[in-house]
């Protein structure tokens, strides 16, 4: 069969798609680059906010058009939206032949056979054990490789659908993660990003996340190690020490704030207060002064007042994040918030707040980036810059995008770059001569 796969959502989904490709290739299917030439089209979907669903429904409409025009096509919805919508998907999008959730990918070859025989293939069972440790992902070539070190989430933040789409938390063995890291190095990747919904709760036997980071950093040939995301409620100080002392572990932390008001955080079941978040940030900055910090923030969660929103602004101004992803609250079916709290902040106020916060954060990002002007960074070249294909886009240890010219170099090279100017999203630099690959 010719199979086409499209991916939506977070890095965990990108990684899952690499697992899916591996499973399908092993079953002798061929992967094609467009839905036009496919026998089977899969959408690996996200459920985190309503707009993620809307995009998929639009794409499914398009698939229905193809079928109507006579293309013989099996359509499959995979991932988080498949898991969370189940019945609704069957009713609203009869074009769908296969529905499989994040723990069912090993069943895909048999679901394809069933669907080709005219049956509808559904598998939405969640597993307490599945970690896909035995599957070698088919990776997109590049500089960075993802490894999911754990799956699922047990936090039950009241706004979040993930515990329902990805099930209970389970960690992979350090041994399988190290073996995968060694394979990544052998394939030429320079950087690995360890993924988990809450990496602080990584636990395997006596190994915790800090132990794992050190072990991955020690893999010969691995040049940079990043991770996402930790939870502020139990940020391990042991991890900070390991990060501080290990040259391969990048000085960058994505620390989701979600809201600045203690009352809102309480309703979100985040289990930390405004002050506790600020204390964690102070401890991080004390230990790793040149760390870069990014965050996620939700505007307009249930019951959020102007005063609550001011708390969020206060934390943002105090912490001075290098960057932030800011979202409007989107009520998700079956979550605790959807059952317990009315989605009572109007669309107008959500828009006003998100706009205000984005403006504030843009100003802060610019100031933070301007502090880098004059500094020299080891930059890992990723790809040609989008604006000017003659220039490179690379990243500093702190994960800042740096654009510069270095005709002799190529993606995967490390280059010493002096920052000459700063924008909101990227830095501009000049290679410190001589412009040759620099070894960390």
Asked whether the CA dihedral 332, 337, 341, 347 is positive or negative, the reply is: negative
Phi, psi of 161 (to 5 degrees): -90, -15
Q: How many CB atoms lie within 10 A of CB 301?
A: 27
**Buried/exposed 336-359: b ≥16 CB within 10 Å, e otherwise:** bbbeebebebeeebbeebbeebee
- Tokens coding 180: 């995968």
The rounded distance, in Å, linking the Cα atoms of 292 and 312 is 19
Numbers of helices and strands, H then E, in the chain: 14, 21
Pick the closer one to ligand SF4 by CB: 162 or 415.
Answer: 162
Kindly report the length of the chain.
440
From ligand 5AD, ligand SF4, none, interface partner of 9 (C-beta below 5 to 8 A by class): ligand SF4
From ligand SF4, ligand 5AD, none, interface partner of 47 (C-beta below 5 to 8 A by class): ligand SF4
Q: Which stretch binds ligand 5AD (CB under 6 A): 17-25, 104-112, 329-337, 381-389?
A: 329-337
Instruction: Point out the residue whose Cβ comes nearest to ligand 5AD.
Output: 296
x/- map, 149-168, ligand 5AD, by CB under 6 A = ----------xx--------
Phi, psi of 395 (to 5 degrees): -135, 140
Pick the closer one to ligand SF4 by CB: 9 or 232.
Answer: 9
From ligand SF4, ligand 5AD, none, interface partner of 166 (C-beta below 5 to 8 A by class): ligand SF4
From ligand SF4, ligand 5AD, none, interface partner of 330 (C-beta below 5 to 8 A by class): ligand 5AD
Q: Does 228 bind ligand 5AD (CB under 6 A)?
A: no
From the CB of 356, what's the least distance to ligand SF4, in Å? Answer: 25
The rounded distance, in Å, linking the Cα atoms of 101 and 125 is 7
x/- map, 286-305, ligand 5AD, by CB under 6 A = ----------x-x-------
Q: Does 402 bind ligand 5AD (CB under 6 A)?
A: no
CB 168 within 8 A of CB 128: yes
Size of the site for ligand 5AD (CB under 6 A): 12
Q: Does 378 bind ligand 5AD (CB under 6 A)?
A: no
Pick the closer one to ligand 5AD by CB: 32 or 336.
Answer: 336
């Amino acid at each position: 069969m010719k199979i086409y796969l499209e991916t939506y959502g977070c890095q965990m989904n990108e990684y899952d798609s690499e697992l899916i490709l591996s499973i399908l290739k092993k079953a002798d299917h061929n992967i094609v680059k467009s839905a036009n030439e496919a026998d089977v089209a899969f959408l690996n979907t996200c459920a985190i906010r309503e707009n993620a669903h809307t995009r998929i429904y639009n794409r499914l409409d398009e698939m229905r058009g193809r079928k109507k025009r006579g293309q013989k096509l099996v359509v499959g919805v995979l991932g988080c939206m498949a898991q969370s919508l189940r019945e609704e998907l069957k009713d609203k999008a009869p074009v769908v032949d296969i529905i499989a959730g994040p723990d069912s990918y090993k069943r895909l070859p048999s679901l394809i056979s069933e669907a080709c025989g005219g049956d509808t293939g559904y598998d939405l069972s969640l597993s307490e054990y599945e970690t896909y440790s035995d599957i070698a992902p088919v990776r997109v070539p590049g500089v960075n490789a993802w490894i999911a070190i754990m799956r699922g989430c047990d936090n039950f933040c009241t706004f979040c659908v993930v515990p329902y789409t990805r099930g209970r938390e389970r960690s992979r063995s350090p041994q399988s993660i190290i073996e995968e890291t060694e394979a990544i190095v052998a394939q030429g990747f320079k950087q690995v990003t360890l993924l988990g919904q809450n990496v602080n709760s990584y636990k395997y036997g006596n190994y915790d996340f800090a132990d794992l980071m050190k072990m991955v950093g020690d893999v010969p040939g691995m040049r940079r190690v990043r991770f996402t995301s930790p939870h502020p409620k139990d940020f391990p100080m042991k991890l900070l020490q390991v990060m501080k002392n290990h040259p391969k572990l990048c000085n960058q932390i994505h620390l989701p704030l979600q809201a600045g008001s203690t009352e809102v955080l309480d309703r979100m079941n985040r289990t930390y207060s405004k002050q506790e978040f600020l204390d964690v940030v102070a401890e991080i900055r004390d230990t790793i002064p040149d760390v870069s910090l990014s965050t996620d923030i939700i505007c307009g969660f249930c019951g959020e007042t102007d005063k609550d929103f001011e708390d969020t602004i206060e934390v943002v101004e105090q912490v001075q994040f290098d960057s932030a992803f800011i979202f409007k609250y989107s009520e998700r079916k079956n979550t605790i918030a959807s059952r317990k709290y009315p989605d009572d902040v109007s669309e107008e106020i959500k828009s006003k707040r998100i706009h205000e916060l984005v403006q504030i954060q843009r100003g802060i990002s610019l100031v933070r980036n301007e502090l880098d002007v004059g500094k020299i960074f080891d930059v890992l070249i990723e790809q040609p810059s989008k604006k000017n294909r003659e220039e490179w886009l690379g990243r500093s240890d702190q994960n800042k995008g740096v654009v510069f010219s270095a005709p002799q170099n190529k993606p995967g090279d490390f280059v010493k770059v002096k920052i000459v100017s700063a924008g909101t999203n990227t830095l501009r630099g000049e290679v410190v001569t001589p412009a040759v690959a620099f070894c960390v």
